[in-house]
Structure 1
């Protein structure tokens, strides 16, 4: 069910020898992402349960789910970029059906994130799913 953009990340990760390279790649993905407009960094878009500041702003256009996001932490910003590749462009029902844990597991993220980062990632995924269910 993964998008082509997410499959590209999976392929990139397969060529990287160690986790440090993968970690840097995630950070680079976040750096390449356009910052979220400050006007969208409001309590309604803030994600609770993250150790750092995180905002996710979702839209649905022509039945396709899309979201942008931002964080004050570089690795979290990178994780947002990964999630955007996983979810953006999917239909609402497909967003809800994605097994994010399994998909992210293909990247080895589950074993290499701190418990705080893992909790924050779960909170972001939960927000994405809740938003898609509310729009469906």
Structure 2
């Protein structure tokens, strides 16, 4: 299965970072690219539970492909969400179900920096996406 263009871009960007400090900086930059959610979208109904930080997720289906937007109050989490969205946006529900979160963050060189709580939170986001796609 080929990667979405944004996911390939993320891999290319992160591959050029020799160390964690550069990756962390790049992660923050990716987080700044997230399209902000408006107040209504930051409502309780869009909140993802299971994250230590506050995370909101909205998604829409267009011609069989999902587009998600997300926001968080934490800078590092915004970066992690941005690279997760790069991996999943444009996928069908079936492709979304097959995404391996751990493998994706390992490919980016970010897996070791994912604390168990962050990993659980990102898993909660992915599960929420899959629920939306399955409805």
TM-score range, shorter chain: over 0.9
Give the unaligned 5+ runs of structure 2. Answer: none
Give the unaligned 5+ runs of structure 1. Answer: none
Deviation digits for residues 24-76 of structure 1, max 9, x if unmatched? Answer: 11111111222111111112210011111100001001111011010000011
Contact 1:33 1:81 in 2 (8 A): yes
Contact 2:101 2:123 in 1 (8 A): no
Structure-2-length-normalised TM-score: 0.93
**Stretches of 4+ aligned residues off by more than 6 angstroms:** none
Contact 2:53 2:73 in 1 (8 A): yes
- Name the structure 1 match of 2:16: 15
Query: Are residues 1:54 and 2:55 paired?
Result: yes
Structure-1-length-normalised TM-score: 0.92
Q: How many residues align?
A: 134
> What RMSD, in angstroms, separates the aligned Cα atoms of the two structures?
1.2
